[in-house]
């Protein structure tokens, strides 16, 4: 009888060790640290004032598109109708890229500016601050959008 008890205890030791390994392998793996954001990057919340070289206030009325940068690499806002979100990454002194956007799908009267606004994120490769405004441009330096700080 005594030997059967020792056999069961010895047989359960490998199972306990396997369970311990399984639990340890499920522990959260820390995400890699994001590269530091340069102090010159403005972050925060912005209102769109120019898109594709045209002022937007007259064409969208009171529903001005917005852009807000989160410290966690998330960005989002309103297209003037739908809410959207994306991820952003910086590179070098003035490089910026946005990941694929997600958005709500509400019916919008002025869909044309929304389509152009979302397309701007796909093309954006650089940022700069000029006279207190955030300017986003493509890889060749062509200005795609201009934002003013939201209050």
Residue 6's pLDDT is 46
Q: What's the domain range around 60?
A: 44-149
Residue 37's pLDDT is 65
Domain contains 19? no
Q: What digits encode the pLDDT tens for the residues 73-84?
A: 999 999 988 999
What's the CATH number where 127 sits?
A: 2.40.128.270
Backbone angles phi, psi at 64, to 5 degrees: -80, 130
Residue 18's pLDDT is 44
Strand partners, 91: 95
Q: With bands split at pLDDT 50, 70 and 90, how would you rate the model's confidence at 28?
A: very low
Q: Can you spell out the DSSP letters for 51-80?
A: ETTEE-HHHHTT---EEEE-TTSEEEEE-S
Share of the chain above pLDDT 70, in %: 68
Residue 12's pLDDT is 53
Q: What digits encode the pLDDT tens for the residues 2-11?
A: 555 444 544 4
Domain contains 104? yes
Residue 22's pLDDT is 41
């Amino acid at each position: 009888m005594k030997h059967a008890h020792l056999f069961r205890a010895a047989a359960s030791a490998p199972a306990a060790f396997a369970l311990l390994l399984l639990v340890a392998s499920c522990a959260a793996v820390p995400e890699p640290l994001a590269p530091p954001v340069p102090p010159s990057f403005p972050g925060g919340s912005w209102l769109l004032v120019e898109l594709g070289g045209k002022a937007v206030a007259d064409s969208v009325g009171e529903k001005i598109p917005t852009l807000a940068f989160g410290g966690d690499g998330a960005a989002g806002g309103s297209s003037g109708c739908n809410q959207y979100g994306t991820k952003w990454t910086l590179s070098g002194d003035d490089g910026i890229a946005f990941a694929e956007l997600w958005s709500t799908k509400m019916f919008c009267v002025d869909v044309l500016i929304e389509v152009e606004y979302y397309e701007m994120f796909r093309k954006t490769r650089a940022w700069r601050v000029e006279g207190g405004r955030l300017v986003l441009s493509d890889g060749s330096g062509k200005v795609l959008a201009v934002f003013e700080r939201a209050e």
